[in-house]
Structure 1
Amino acid sequence: MSKINQLIQNLCPAGVEYKKLENVLIIKNGRDYKQFGDGNIPVYGSGGIMTYIDTAVYDKPSVLIPRKGSLDKLYYVDTPFWNVDTIFYTDIDTSLVEPKYIYYYLEGQHLERLNKAGGVPSLTQAVLNKVQLPVPPLEVQREIVRILDSFTLLTAELTAELTAELTARKSQYEFYRRKLLTFDESIPQLQLRDVASFRNGKGHEKNIADNGKYVVVNSKFISTNGQVIKNSDEQLSPLYFDDIAMVMSDLPNGRALAKCYLIDKDDKFTLNQRIGGFHTLDENIVVTKYLFYILDRNWQLLKYDNGVDQTNLKKDDILNISIPVPAIDVQKRLVYMLDNFDAICSDLNIGLPAEIEARQKQYEYYRDVLLTYAATGKIIAQTDRQTDRQTDRQA
């Protein structure tokens, strides 16, 4: 912070003045856009860009502040735009403040905490106008913007690299899984109905309970590998240890169709409607974990997705698929190899998103420190939130 420190010492050695938002900008409402034609001007709502039209409401740099809905999402826009009534735009006095400095400062203030509405979260101009911000000289503001722009770019590049790495590893896993589970004509084939029993689940809509004893195995639960959970106070369709649950219905080009989940415990899960439940008939013919890997996103079932309509797999569609049945020792060896590969991919699925989140927290932490330093000329004692972030990074 040597340059910032020098600027502060030279330009505001006595400290930085605080001003209310209403003293440095004018908050303006959005309006409907439907009377305009198609074009290349983005239309912003509280959730981001909604569409594009041929008319702009404003053509100078501005900070867009949600009025209703997703209050934590601010937008900095420096090209012509239109905004609807769920988000404010700001006419900023650039003789006092840099627009992007405003954006960075307000981004760290968590304006959603100012919500006073009982229903849909909302902010008012009256509340926002009273928000105070430090207003150092413009040279200091520009240096802050330069530093945070650089840090934002680095964070975005790292996030993109990590995301690409995660996608590549998933593709690699799918490639090798398919390779391992592809057999030549010398391996006997049986229909699924010959090696496993089948049953359909039941609707649990009326039995959902936050503290229910049973986990409802639905498409969301399976597609997230058990991360998104709904509970039921009744076990309408019990699942048992080593049952295989499969998603039978999904949207066009969905990623959940034929996705499977292996049940690991009795008296814990209940099978929802449009989820198929399978149980191996004879472990001396087909090992359960091997069958799980064969069924999970099986290509013979994915072909029913035409990319246009909702896909609903029928019982016979599923039970008629071919299951390669190599020797039991081969099945177990394949399970061992796929378990190990799956464990590596699971570690990546946890580790890479956690790394992305850590980098975002690191950015937020240094943004807050930098803006605090610019306002006070010193790094103040950390807030609980900042301390938590450092702990996260050191853990």
Structure 2
Amino acid sequence: MSKVEWKKLVLVSDVLYGYPFESSLFSEDSSFMPLIRIRDVKPAKASTYYTGEFNETYRIRKGDILVGMDGEFNIGKWDDRDGLLNQRVLKLSGKDGLCLDGYLFHYMGPVFKRIEKETPGGSVKHLSAKAINNIVIPVPSMSHQMSIVEILDTFTSSIENLKEQIVLRRKQYEYYRDQLLDLEGKEGVEIKKLGEVCKIERGVRVVKKDLQEEGVIPVYQNSLIPLGYFEKSNYPENTTFVICAGAAGEIGYSKVDFWAADDCTCIVCPTSICSRYIYYHLMVKQHSLKTQVRKASVPRLSKDVIAKQHVFIPSLQEQQRIVSILDTFEESIQNLEAQLAQREKQYEYYRNKLLTFE
């Protein structure tokens, strides 16, 4: 553990607070200047543009370090073309000879998350200038900072590369999924309502106090995250299901025996229909399903809406061929996601190790 001098953040870095640009001049037309709002910090890309005149003081360039001052206090490096710093977003930049931008980026992320946890507030928390002014950070020598940044940048670069690969692979998967499942007019393919060829069954209610936090039989209720684990199952492995309350419209497929609770609707297929094929078919229709969710205090999707979905039914052999291709894409994405999770853990480990000082 290295021994270093601790100083106030505002003494070793410049803090620029965003400007309250006139909202009537906001636009979705990307030919105008990108406007950096809180929601843009994490993706590091603009979603809104500004049509009016502006002060160059608030110009942000690629690589600048930004922090959202409401909500989750996210930190990020801007990765779009030059944009404008809107209110409730701040820019951090190290003072020459005292602190590197890269050092601030790696060190300040956990600091802002800690402040978020400690900040009282309702549904949306607010990061104040007073809190910024009170932050004290360790400031090692510039050569030490450079060494730390070089190591940690290797991890963040690898993480960003993996994220880009996942995005690309998802686009490929969605393209081939949509192409393979567009069977209209193909020879030997029937068009049927899902309820005509499969049983659409609502699950059975369980009481949460009867569930375990760990186990082998998951219980699905109102999301694709198990509510808990039960002592027995009511549906077998390789069954497709649809969440009908809460996260209504989410489509799942269980590779293990599971318990479907009363807000989980299962698709029971005959031997002539592959359940995994139905899963992929419903994924294509997911947007349509979600538009038919009844909006209320608890969003709900009716069993009838699912039963009335039209599906193309080719031969079982063709269903299995399509599933095999799409499963290959899914496995590839899952492998990349596993690599990403591992690399993020490695980054956190080395960040904590390298940025812990006396």
Q: Could you say whether these structures have the same fold, taking a TM-score greater than 0.5 normalized by the shorter chain as the test? A: yes
Residue 161 (structure 1) aligned with residue 145 (structure 2): no
1:40 to 12, 15, 33: 33
One-letter amino acid of the counterpart of residue 11, structure 2:
N
Distance 1:126 1:334, change over 3 A: closer
The number of residues matched between the two structures is: 322
Verify the 8 A CA contact 1:210 1:232 in the aligned structure 2.
no
Distance 1:269 1:188, change over 3 A: closer
* Secondary structure of 1:184's aligned partner: coil
One-letter amino acid of the counterpart of residue 160, structure 2:
A
One-letter amino acid of the counterpart of residue 105, structure 1:
Y
Matches within 5 A, 1:164-175: 164-165=168-169, 167-168=171-172
Q: Percent identity?
A: 17
Distance 1:313 1:258, change over 3 A: farther
What's the Cα RMSD here?
5.3
Q: Deviations over 1:337-383 (max 9, x none)?
A: 677667655543432201012223334444555556xx79xxxxxxx
TM-score by length of 2: 0.61
Q: Alpha-carbon deviation of 1:112?
A: 1.4
Q: Alpha-carbon deviation of 1:84?
A: 1.9
2:241 to 241, 245, 269: 245
Distance 1:190 1:365, change over 3 A: closer
Task: Give the structure with higher Rg (CA).
Answer: 1
Verify the 8 A CA contact 1:244 1:263 in the aligned structure 2.
no
Q: Alpha-carbon deviation of 1:118?
A: 3.5
Q: Which runs of 5+ in 1 are unaligned?
A: 1-13, 222-227, 281-285, 377-395
Residue 351 (structure 1) aligned with residue 351 (structure 2): no
Q: Alpha-carbon deviation of 1:133?
A: 2.1
One-letter amino acid of the counterpart of residue 296, structure 1:
Y
One-letter amino acid of the counterpart of residue 229, structure 1:
P
Residue 292 (structure 1) aligned with residue 275 (structure 2): yes
Residue 58 (structure 1) aligned with residue 52 (structure 2): no
TM-score by length of 1: 0.57
Verify the 8 A CA contact 1:65 1:88 in the aligned structure 2.
yes
Verify the 8 A CA contact 1:163 1:352 in the aligned structure 2.
no
What's the counterpart of residue 283 of structure 1?
A: none
Matches within 5 A, 1:127-276: 129-137=134-142, 141=145, 145=149, 149=153, 152-165=156-169, 167-168=171-172, 184-185=187-188, 195-198=197-200, 209=208, 215-218=219-222, 220-221=223-224, 228-230=225-227, 240-241=235-236, 245-246=241-242, 259=251, 261=253, 265=257, 268-272=259-263
What's the counterpart of residue 25 of structure 1?
A: 13
Distance 1:23 1:113, change over 3 A: same
Verify the 8 A CA contact 2:33 2:83 in the aligned structure 1.
no
Residue 81 (structure 1) aligned with residue 84 (structure 2): yes
Verify the 8 A CA contact 1:46 1:71 in the aligned structure 2.
no
Q: Alpha-carbon deviation of 1:106?
A: 1.9
Distance 1:111 1:208, change over 3 A: farther
